[in-house]
Structure 1
Amino acid sequence: MRATRRAHRFGNWAATATRHSPWEDALGVVAGVTLTAVGIAILGSLGFLTGGMAGLAFVAHYLTGWNFGLVFFVLNLPFYALAIGRMGRAFTIKTAFAVALLSLMTGLSADLLRLAYIDPLFGACLGGLLLGFGLLALFRHRASAGGVGILAIFLQDKFGWRAGLTQLAVDMVVLVTAFAAVSPRAVAYSVLGALVLNLFLAINHRTDRYLAA
């Protein structure tokens, strides 16, 4: 009875044939955040950026020197209203946990991961691919890395728009603002990374191919 009341309060977290258990969600979110953090660390070490809220956090970091993780966390706060109003409490709780953990990991990335050398072309592609894998893991456990991810999942659920294509459109707009913070060469590599990320999501994140929530 107590477990039933708890499930009712925080949304439907029960494990079924098409629904992950809370334990599976926790492992999936941690794995997704870890892959995303490594992708961000690679891009950041090369002076590149990506799209979405992470891209805006990169721009603010490069222009002001503010801590990336803290800026990323603050930028995501307004999107929780959309998440809890449209996507439910369980999605919001998992997303809030993912954003907080990602902010912590990226804020400590200089102490957790140091890269001596990585080829820019390879690094842009690898960073984008790792971000794609990380976001895919979060999406498949009904969570996101906040910001555009929340909007993309909402639009896919409501209108059937591909989450990857939605993110790609927003990311291209964000990357245009990057010219104020980094060189055109860095922007070009960042665009390549964003293309790899979002095309990966557009191909692999489809509700008709993956039924578990």
Structure 2
Amino acid sequence: MIDPLVLLAFVPAALALNLTPGADMMVCIGQGLRRGPAAAWAASGGVALGVLTHGLLAGLGLGALVAASPWLFDAIRWAGVAYLLWLAVQTLRAGPVRGAVPERSGRAFREALVVNLTNPKVILFVLAFVPQFVDPAGAVLPQFLTFAAVLALGGFVVNGLAGVFAGGIGRRLARSGRVARGLGWVSAGIFAALAVRLAVMERA
């Protein structure tokens, strides 16, 4: 059982972190620009599930194993780099998209989930931030899952709204074929920039 005062202290700290622009938010913005608001919410859902998964792994002790194993850490990191570059290429090959296509929401969810899970920076973050609020004398796993759920919920709302805002702008601009192509390049650029950022990332 988590002390209500501890949970009350965790919520604003988590919200402040959710509001800080990062890779997850940029992915949702990119999906919103490219595919519209529905895809932005789907991507935000994928990110939220990824955060919950990281919380589960940290609670089971697997996150610490990854952080302590340089080869495993780097394997996840380079898998993430490769996947982001693949997304950038696929975005350019897809051509202009004018308006959201319903069946692409599932694709946006999967893409955001994989991007989050292959970002070892999230693993380090969960291991560095969440344990500060965990009582080792209690059941550790439920505490990790609860705190991860708070992070996931806040992130879902914040990242989703950021993506919807971008999607609204993109939908208005995409009426022009030239602008629609430009939005494709912007989305691909976001994925490529995130890949470079992940590639040059140093382990803490």
TM-score > 0.5, shorter chain as reference: no
TM-score with structure 1 setting the length: 0.32
TM-score, with structure 2 as normaliser: 0.33
Question: Which protein is richer in helix relative to its size?
Answer: 2
